[in-house]
Structure 1
Amino acid sequence: MCGLIAVRALHASAGLEQRARSALASLARRGPDAEGLLTVEQAPATLLGHRRLAILDTSSAAEQPMRCPISGTVLVFNGAIYNFVELREELRALGCLFVTDGDTEVLLQGWRLWGEGVFARCNGMWAAVLWDAPSGDLIYCRDRLGVKPLYLHHDGHHVTLASEISAIAAIRGGYPAPNPEKLFDFLVTGFSEQGTATFFTGVQAVPPGQVCRMSRAGRFSAAPYHDWPEPGSAEPLSSTEVRGLVEDAIRLRLQADVPVASLLSGGLDSSIITHVALGASQQNRQRLSGAFTYGYHDAVQSAFDESARATAFMGDSGHAALHRILRFNPIPSADELMNLVSVQGEPFSTPSAIAGFRTYRAIREQGYKVVLSGEGADELFGGYTARYHALATRDAFKAGKLLHMIRLLRYRTFAPGLLLNRLVWDLPLPAVGALLRRKRPSVGLMSEALWASQRHRLEYLQERMRSNLETRLRQDELDNLLPMSLRIADRNSMSAGIELRSPFMDHRLVQRAFATPALTRVGEGRSKALLRDAFKGLLPEAIIETPKNTGFGHAEQFLVGRLPWRELLDDLPSGLAAFIDVDGLRAQLAQPRKHSTLWLALSVALWYRRFHA
């Protein structure tokens, strides 16, 4: 788990090494343990740089950039290959010799023998860049779900790849201009990671699940190494199979040469992870030595945390001594909020992100470098009850299945107004636009210029919002909610030098889940039915049966008006007026009742203040 850069100069470029070192310095928090920078000898000039967070084989022999002694190929790699031990044995049988005990050398040797096929063999999370010595090509690749970040910028002088946009800014000498299209989509939908575009013009996220290549002559190509199945293309997941896959995914993600902890909310997903990890902790290189819960000092807000349930769970399991509750004031200071904005690098959808920002720092201070968390479970198994049950009810209504619709309504798992919100997207486009401008503050606060220049995108957004439950669950996993959650979690954890591992992101589990009907995974009258059934009898019934009603940073999500917005909205750069009605934002934040989407406009304003002043 680290930070990386790769820069290919298309023309002679003075001072490139100095800028590369500045780029690495911007990634220092991702990899505080070591730094490496290598310039390859062959034209065109190519630099590969790395900041290391040492997790597997913490010796200097495993530092990067790592060069293959046989082929001369150079690798920089951010992530973790969880099945590296099995892959290493295969490679040894083919004659490979290893001098390290980690996953980086396995990936490098695997590339030499298997080429692009190495990535399909890997179970893990990664962003990798290789300078392939035999061809001189630059190869770059992300894991199947894009857990680890990698961005690309091509300005005609340099092609830059980096773990964060801050490193690209260091290479080019400043941040690119805001991307109006991305700002429009975010203010309408709240999604920040749809597609590969970023909030900075000209900076793209490298697509997950593909092997990309830039030849020495400057030609780009890409090919998928993985495809996700369509619903019904295989036998549906059974609860027994779910349990086996989840348990194996957890055990694989315990491998480390440093202390490992879990993030324990007291809910279903984190309890599953902690329970299984504790049971596996006697195995070699697999030991869970801590469980951390986020909570509040304020008695009023303590109703929003699950620390009491987490404490009971750890006590009943006989591991109370491993449990730590981290308590905070839900309202951040202006400095803390702006530090979070800096770390995130782009607008983000919820102020609850402050919870992870604080938690990972506190966990790191106690000596941990690896944390297991439950990202992906809610999107894969339908944990957002109101969101998915409202969609299922709308689908039944549109299909004329009125009895099914009435049955779903009787469960009362969502407010009836949510059904109307879903149906609004079926209105004629002009009516949709007018309603959004009047009823959704984040849209109403767009500048007239942004609305006029980008409103044509409503047709594309309307098409997506009309998607049925099956399609939406898939979109949420691959292109909406989960990529957004992953970005927030990656920046927060890496800003503290923490490697975050998510067992529910194991591609074998996702592969099988995508072939299983959405409503089977979600269930009627409850959420995550398939996952709950899988661990019934293994976990306490209270955890299995209790619906999801709070979340990580739950209180912060509803306290937008109490954030220190007044001082932060003073002296804003004048250019923000091209995107946001700042006076209107101030006025609405000062009102007693505040719509949740006000945060979206505030997030854009704070991001602009930080990166475009």
Structure 2
Amino acid sequence: MCGIVALRSFVADSALQPRAQHALDALSSRGPDAQGLLCLNQPVPTALGHRRLAILDLSDAATQPMRCAESGNVVVFNGEIYNFLELRRELEALGHRFRTDSDTEVILHGWRAWGEALFPRCNGMWAVVLLEQTTGELVYCRDRLGVKPLYMHHDGQRLVLASEIRAIACALGGYPPPNPAAIFDFLVAGLSDHNCDTFYQGIRAVPPGWLYRVSPTGHSRRHRYHDWPAPGAADPLDAEATRALLEDATRLRLRSDVPTVTLLSGGLDSSILTRISLQADSAPRTCFAGAFTYGYCDATHAAFDETADAAALMKEWGQITRHHVHRAHAVPDEEELRALVVAQEAPFCTPSIFASFRMYRAIREAGYKVVLNGEGADELFGGYVGLYLPLAARDALRGAHLPALVKLLASGAVLPRALLHRLAWDLPGPLLGAMLRRNRPSVACMSGALWHDQSPRLRALQADRRAGVEMRMRSDALSTNLPMVLRMADRNSMSAGIEVRAPFLDYRLVERALATRADTRMGNYHGKALLRRAFAADMPPRIVERRKSTGFGHAEQFLLDRMPVQRTLSSLPPELGEFLDVPRLRTELARGRAHTTLWLAVSVALWHRSIYA
């Protein structure tokens, strides 16, 4: 786990090395253990840089950039190939000889043996840039879901690739202008990372599941190396398969040469992962050190504190000595708010991510740097019942399935107001736009110029929001929700030098989940029915039968009125007026009891000030 940069100039470039080093320095928090930079002039000026967080093979032999002695290929790699031991055995059977115990060397030998067929064999998360000696081409790709980030800027004269946008900005000599389209989508629907665009013009994310080749002349070609199955196109999940796949995914992700911990909330997902981890503790190359739980110092937020539930669970399992609790004040101070904004480097949709921002720092201070979390479980198994059940009610209403609609409303699981919010997206475009401008604070605080210029984008956002439950859950996993969650989690964790591994995102489990009907995965009003059935024998009934917990950082999510933003918002760059009606934003905040969507506008303002002031 680490940070990578790659620069290639298609014109003479005497400043390549200092620009590459400057970019690499910007990634220091991602890889505090070592760094390496290789600069070549042939076939064209090219630099490959790496910041290392040492997790597999802690020796200097595993540092990067790493060169293959047989082929001359050079690689920089961010992520983990969890099945590297199995791939290594295959390669050794083919006659390959290894000099390290790292997964990085498996990539080099795998490329030599299988070429582009390597990555479909890999189970892991990765952003890889490889310089192919025979062709002079730069090859780069991301994992199937884009768990690990890779951004690119290609203007015809140079190509810049990096794990974070700040590194590209360092290589370019500054941040590009803001991207109005990205800001519009974020203010209207709270979306980011739903396509390859970023909040910066000219910087894009490398799409997950694609492989690129760039020649020495700058010619680029690409192809998709992975396609997700359509519903019904693969074997659906049942409880037995769900259990087997998740257990194997977790065991693979426990492979590490440093201790691993889990985040334990006392809810279903984290309890399952912690239980599997405890059972797999004796597996080769595994050292599970326990679980960390987040709680609050403030008595007023006791309702959101899950430390007692988590402690009770660990005590029942006889593992209380391996349970660690970190408590924090829900409301941050200005310094912490500023640090989170800088770490994220883009607007973020909820202040609830303060919880993980704090937690990863606490885990690092305790001496750990590998964490298992439950990212993806809500999207794959229908955990967002507050979103999905109103959509099910809307689907029933559209299809005139009145008994199903009445049952949902009578259960209390779907409030009429929530149903009306979903139905609003069915309104004609002009009427929907007028309603959003009037009633949604983040849209009301959008500048008139941005609304006028970008309002045609509302049509695409509306089409996305009109999707039924089946398509909504698929979209949330592949494009709208999970990619955004992964981006925020990566930046929070890596700003503290922490590697996060997500067993629910094992591609084998994701494929089977996407091929399984949404109602089978989600089930009743609790959500995650399939997951509950799969692990009912391992969990206390109170865990299996309880509805979704309040969630990580739930208290922070609703404390906008108490966030220390007023002083920051009192001195904003005048250019922000191109995107926000700043006086309206200040007025909305001064009213108190701000609507949660107002955070979207506040986040845009905080981000813009941190980058462009």
Query: Which of the five TM-score ranges fits, normalised by the shorter chain?
Result: over 0.9
Judge conservation of contact 1:385–1:414 (CA < 8 Å) in 2: no
Q: Which moved more, 1:524-533 or 1:603-612?
A: 524-533
SS in 1 for 2:426: coil
Structure 1 range deviating more: 415-424 or 184-193 = 415-424
Equivalence for 2:246: 246
Map of 1:598 onto structure 2: 598
Does the residue aligned with 2:166 lie in a helix, a strand or coil? helix
Secondary structure at the aligned position of 2:169 is classed as helix
Counterpart in the other structure of 1:236: 236
Give 1:407 deviation, angstroms: 1.8
Please say if residues 393 and 414 of structure 2, whose CA atoms lie closer than 8 Å, have aligned partners that are also in contact.
no
1: CA distance between counterparts of 2:27 and 2:554? 29
Residue 23 of structure 1 pairs with residue 28 of structure 2: no
Structure 2: which 5+ residue stretches go unaligned?
none
Give the equivalent residue in structure 1 for 2:89: 89
Aligned residue number for residue 268 of structure 1: 268
Structure 1 residue 285: deviation in Å?
1.3
Match of 1:157?
157
Conservation of the 8 A alpha-carbon contact between 2:424 and 2:432: yes
Matched residue SS, 2:536: coil
- Normalising by structure 2, what TM-score? 0.99
Q: Is 2:46 the partner of 1:46?
A: yes
| 1:445 partner letter | C
Work out whether residues 305 and 554 of structure 1, in 8 Å CA contact, stay in contact via their aligned partners in 2.
no
Kept in 2: contact 1:473–1:518 (CA 8 A): yes
Deviation at 1:155, TM superposition (A): 2.5
**1:34-73 matches, cutoff 5 A:** 34-73=34-73
CA deviations over 1:232-263 (Å, ceiling 9, x no partner): 12332111110000111111000000111111
- State the shift of 1:201 in Å: 0.4
Contact 1:83/1:252 (8 A) holds in 2: yes
Distance (whole Å) between structure 2 residues aligned to residue 161 and residue 210 of structure 1: 15
Per-residue CA distance 1:262-315 (angstroms, 9 max, x = gap): 110110000000000001101221121121001000011121121111010000
Deviations 1:33-82 (A, max 9, x none): 01000023422111000000000001000000000111111100000000
Corresponding residue number in structure 1 for 2:430: 430
Q: Do structure 1's residue 441 and structure 2's residue 452 form an aligned pair?
A: no
Does the CA-based 8 Å contact 2:209-2:226 persist in structure 1? yes
User: What amino acid sits opposite 2:184 in the alignment?
Assistant: F
Question: How many Å separate the matches in 2 of 1:56 and 1:357?
Answer: 24
Q: Which moved more, 1:123-132 or 1:281-290?
A: 281-290
CA distance in 1: counterparts of 2:548 and 2:605, whole angstroms: 31
Displacement of 1:136? 0.6
Kept in 2: contact 1:369–1:499 (CA 8 A):
yes
- Indicate the larger mover: 506-515 or 399-408: 399-408
Contact 1:305 1:551 in 2 (8 A): no
Q: Does the aligned pair in 2 maintain the 1:386–1:415 contact within 8 Å?
A: no
1:425 is paired with a residue whose SS is helix
Which residue number in structure 2 is paired with residue 511 of structure 1? 511
The Cα shift of 1:452 comes to 0.4
User: 3-state SS of the aligned residue for 1:274?
Assistant: helix
CA–CA separation in structure 2 for the residues paired with 1:608 and 1:508:
39
* One-letter amino acid matched to 1:268: L
- The answer as to whether partners of 2:10 and 2:216 remain within 8 angstroms in 1 is no
- Secondary structure of 2:140's aligned partner: strand
TM superposition shift of 1:416: 1.7
Deviation at 1:324, TM superposition (A): 0.8
Deviation at 1:564, TM superposition (A): 0.4
1:583 aligned counterpart, secondary structure: helix
Q: Do 1:278 and 1:287's aligned partners in 2 also have CA atoms closer than 8 Å?
A: no
Separation in 2 of the partners of 1:371 and 1:226? 27
Distance 1:143 1:228 in 2: 13
Q: How many residues matched?
A: 613
Name the CA distance, whole Å, in 2 between partners of 1:525 and 1:372. Answer: 27
The 3-state SS of whatever aligns with 2:299 is coil
Shift of 1:584: 1.0
2:217 — aligned with what?
217
Paired with 2:316 and 2:477, the residues of 1 have a C-alpha distance of 33
| Distance in 2, Cα, partners of 1:293 & 1:549 | 14
Amino acid at match of 1:323: H
Task: Show the counterpart of 1:291.
Answer: 291
Q: Secondary structure at the match of 2:168?
A: helix
1:501 equivalent in structure 2: 501
Superposed, 1:357-368 pairs within 5 Å as 357-368=357-368
What SS does the aligned partner of 2:125 have? strand
How far is 1:171 from its partner? 0.3
Contact 1:259/1:367 (<8 A) preserved: no
Q: What SS does the corresponding residue of 1:290 show, helix, strand or coil?
A: strand
Q: Report matched runs for 1:175-214 at 5 Å.
A: 175-214=175-214
Aligned to 2:420: 420
Partner of 2:472: 472
C-alpha deviation, 1:415, in angstroms: 2.2
Does the aligned pair in 1 maintain the 2:6–2:160 contact within 8 Å?
A: yes
Q: Specify the code of the residue in structure 1 equivalent to 2:186.
A: F
Q: Which amino acid aligns with 2:34?
A: A
| Cα separation, 2, equivalents of 1:316 and 1:581 | 54
Measured after TM superposition, the shift of residue 477 of structure 1 is 0.5
Q: Map of 1:263-342 to 2, 5 A cutoff?
A: 263-342=263-342
What does residue 562 of structure 2 align with? 562
Question: Partner of 2:551 in structure 1?
Answer: 551
Name the SS of the counterpart of 1:397 in structure 2: helix
Distance between the aligned counterparts of 1:240 and 1:481, measured in 2?
A: 27
Shift of 1:418: 1.2
Output the aligned Cα RMSD.
0.9
> What letter matches 1:310 in structure 2?
A
1:89 and 1:40 map into 2 onto residues whose CA distance is 33
In structure 1, distance between residues paired with 2:596 and 2:370: 33
Instruction: Confirm or deny: 8 A CA contact 1:262 1:291 kept in the other structure.
Output: yes
What one-letter code is carried by the residue in structure 2 that aligns with 1:369? K
What residue number does 1:4 align with?
4
Gaps of 5+ in 1: none
Identical aligned pairs, as a percentage?
57
Shift of 1:358: 0.7
More displaced stretch, 278-287 vs 136-145? 278-287
Tell me the amino acid that sits aligned with residue 50 of structure 1. H
Partner of 1:255: 255
The whole-number CA distance in structure 2 between the counterparts of 1:595 and 1:369 is 36
Quote how far apart the aligned CAs of 1:586 are: 1.1
**CA–CA distance in structure 2, aligned partners of residues 414 and 519 of structure 1:** 16
Name the counterpart of 1:120: 120
Q: Partner of 1:6: helix, strand, or coil?
A: strand
* Helix, strand or coil at the partner of 1:29: helix
Name the residue aligned to 1:79. Answer: 79
CA distance in 2, matches of 1:180, 1:240: 47
Task: Output the amino acid matched with 1:537.
Answer: A
Give the letter aligned to residue 270 of structure 2: S
Kept in 2: contact 1:260–1:290 (CA 8 A): yes
